[in-house]
Amino acid sequence: MQRKEYSAGMTKFSFWFSEFKKVVQLQDSGKSLDDIKQMNQAENIFSATTPKRASQIFNVVSSRIKSLDPSFYRVFKQSDIANQKIIVLIAIMETDSLFFDFVYEVYREKLIIGMVELADSDLSIFFKNKQLQSEKVAKWTDHTLKTLGKSYKTVLTEAGVIDRSKGNRKILKPILDRSLEDCLIKNGMAVTLHALTGVR
């Protein structure tokens, strides 16, 4: 992945699975991202509450889509919903370096050692460590970090890799289609595969 500066942007973003799927389908029908951008402005194709929100959804979803090699789109179209959601999760990991680090350093480690729950304390410890490593993260308020932690849990829940319990969340190890595993490996993304499946 192309490492980007750490960001708390996910506090304003959602998983946006149906929106991602719609853009992939429109591209498959021959539309360019510019075409889809214009459609969104004219027709509000994501049913956003405001034009500003519609634009934000398109910008984020299109960035996620552009972060993946086109070979992922073919796998996406052929996959069941569970694996489609994992592809959206992968796209989010590709566009958010801090979230990628969380999945790799915390979620993956839980899978490796056989721990079955993700606790709020896991998020707190992760963010405290990152505050020591990054001047930018060190400047974020406790409120920002708490909101970001909630966003991370929401994304992981929507992706189907943790459950919807209150408090500690049960970890649900994803079962990736072989075609998706192969796509990750062919695109030099074995580290992402290891993050999601708990491999050292």
Beta-carbon count within 10 A of 105 CB: 14
Q: What is the dihedral of CA 150, 154, 155, 157, to 10 degrees?
A: 140
Q: Residue 186 to residues 77, 179, 195: CA-CA distances in angstroms? A: 18, 10, 16
CA 90, 59, 22 angle in degrees (round to 5)?
65
pLDDT tens, position by position, for the chain (200 residues)? Answer: 778 899 999 999 999 999 999 999 999 999 999 999 999 999 999 999 999 999 999 999 999 999 999 999 999 999 999 999 999 999 999 999 999 999 999 999 999 999 999 999 999 999 999 999 999 999 999 999 999 999 999 999 999 999 999 889 999 999 999 999 999 999 999 999 999 999 98
**Rounded distance between C-alpha atoms, residue 85 and residue 67, angstroms:** 16
Query: Which pLDDT value is given to residue 3?
Result: 86
Query: Which pLDDT value is given to residue 81?
Result: 98
Query: Which pLDDT value is given to residue 160?
Result: 98
Nearest to 15 by CA among 118, 78, 96, 76: 96
